[in-house]
Amino acid sequence: MITAGPATLIRASAPARDHCPRRGRGPRGRRLRLRPVDPRTGMPRVGMVGGGQLARMTHQAAIPLGQTLRVLSVSADDCAALVTPDVMIGEHTDLDALRAFAQGCDVVTFDHEHVPGEHIRALAAEGHAVFPAADALQYAQDKALMRARLAELGIPVPAFAVLESGSDPAQAVPAFAAEHGWPVVVKTARGGYDGRGVWVLDSVQALAGTELSDSGRLVLETFVPLQRELAALVARSPFGQAAAWPVVETFQQQGICVEVIAPAPGLADDIAAAASALALRVAADLGVVGVLAVELFQVAPHPAAPDGLMVNELAMRPHNSGHWTMDGSVTSQFEQHLRAVLDYPLGRTDQVAPFVVMGNVLGGAADPSHLDGSPTMGMDERVHHLAARFPDVKVHLYGKAFRPGRKLGHVNIIGSDLGELRRRARLAAGWLGDGVWADGYDVHGRAAPLGPVPTADDDPGDLDGQAMLRADRPATALPDRLLGGEAVR
């Protein structure tokens, strides 16, 4: 394997030279099935099981590649179902629905990890190309399997124990704590995400009030004294080509990602390279095809983790830690996932600016559209005000119904002043999520701290007292203070 800087395309076991499996032979001379392309376009049709935001953004990436994305969605109102015309309504647990869905798809892939492995195996046995394959995906579906396999590969993971369903957590958790100390982190082996299915228990007493005994197989883990959380995102194709994006720092609140910084600030080059190499190794050893996100803990280096890196979670699909790539990398994770599952050569993963900050838009405590039962500040109006205040912030909304804490979208911002990028990303994401500017900024300009001073030049009808970007006054000709809130704090 040739290793290079984390932003560089990394070749795993095969070069990036042109290869076209559709024309005949695969990597080891294996004859590959001709692809049943979409007859309307002559281009591939990719099927994505699950209609959430990841499918929605994958659809966005499929369009310029000329591809058709077909989505299997449980509801016509799911985010991806709202934007793709090639949508089938069905359950991802229903094998017949999956079979009907896979017909006419060149390849089937996933927006989440909830498709049963036996269904994926059945589709593959019936001749469908499914990536990632069930043998790889099982390690992202089942934390107990993942921990055991990574430990077997010698990859650092927190000390853990598996508690089979039916065992008594009231005995096993204190026994684990006696060996490893409190707190004990308990995770459901399957099905949890975004903080769901995770308990941090600091005493025997904390066990009461949890529903551990009804939660199936459990993984018990030590509470790692981490310095920070990182994520290494890579992609791998069936041909064996692999690429790694710069390693990022991620920030969580109540188990939900709220912010991502690319690259991870202050991460030593050798540790960044070690994190990328670790993720590429996991991708190759587990036979992953598509995007793989490796969530990492950075800890003080010790003999079991000499680089100070431990694996927390794996995801084999586009991942929240890679949403920054939509505006911040030559190739977005969504495009790369499509390239990888179709066995195209992969795209470059370089960053397009020194820093990229992603802020998640999470539903606040109450829907700002209905604070008192009447529409007060709908999302459309919030986007409008955001655009006026921060024209450099890129907005990605998922078309989801409001729920407190739900991921409704994200914002990206690129540049070189990290502190300023973070400030804007946080303000923007918070504003979209709960309709409140955390710094007290007043959209009507009356009490904006350090707000812009209107000049005679300003159009009195301008939104929020700021100059609108008008045709007769092109953006480039506007003074900086009117572009992007330099003076709009």
**Contacts with ligand AIR, residue ranges (CB under 6 A):** 50, 52-55, 111-112, 193-194, 406-407
What minimum distance in Å lies between the beta carbon of 192 and ligand AIR?
A: 10
Contact 265, 249 (CB under 8 A): yes
What minimum distance in Å lies between the beta carbon of 141 and ligand AIR?
A: 11
For 150, the token pair is: 């990574």
Quick one: which of 98, 109, 13, 123 has its CA closest to 61?
109
What minimum distance in Å lies between the beta carbon of 120 and ligand AIR?
A: 16
For 45, the token pair is: 């049709």
Residue nearest to ligand AIR (CB): 52
What minimum distance in Å lies between the beta carbon of 358 and ligand AIR?
A: 14
Phi-psi region of 138 (alpha: psi -120 to 50; beta: other; left: phi over 0): alpha
What minimum distance in Å lies between the beta carbon of 399 and ligand AIR?
A: 11
Phi-psi region of 447 (alpha: psi -120 to 50; beta: other; left: phi over 0): alpha
Q: What are phi and psi of 232, to 5 degrees?
A: -115, 120
Quick one: which of 246, 251, 278 has its CA closest to 414?
246
Of 51 and 485, CB closest to ligand AIR: 51
Compute CA distances 429 → 60, 261, 308, 409, whole Å.
Answer: 21, 14, 31, 8
CA 479, CA 489: separation in Å to the nearest integer? 16
> How many Å from the N-terminal Cα to the C-terminal Cα in the chain?
48
For 340, the token pair is: 């990888």
Of 16 and 74, CB closest to ligand AIR: 74
What minimum distance in Å lies between the beta carbon of 315 and ligand AIR?
A: 7
Alpha helices in 20-142 (DSSP H): 53-62, 95-102, 117-125, 134-141
Contact 368, 345 (CB under 8 A): no
For 4, the token pair is: 């290079």
Of 80 and 356, CB closest to ligand AIR: 80
What minimum distance in Å lies between the beta carbon of 50 and ligand AIR?
A: 4
For 465, the token pair is: 């007292």
What minimum distance in Å lies between the beta carbon of 366 and ligand AIR?
A: 17
Of 111 and 367, CB closest to ligand AIR: 111
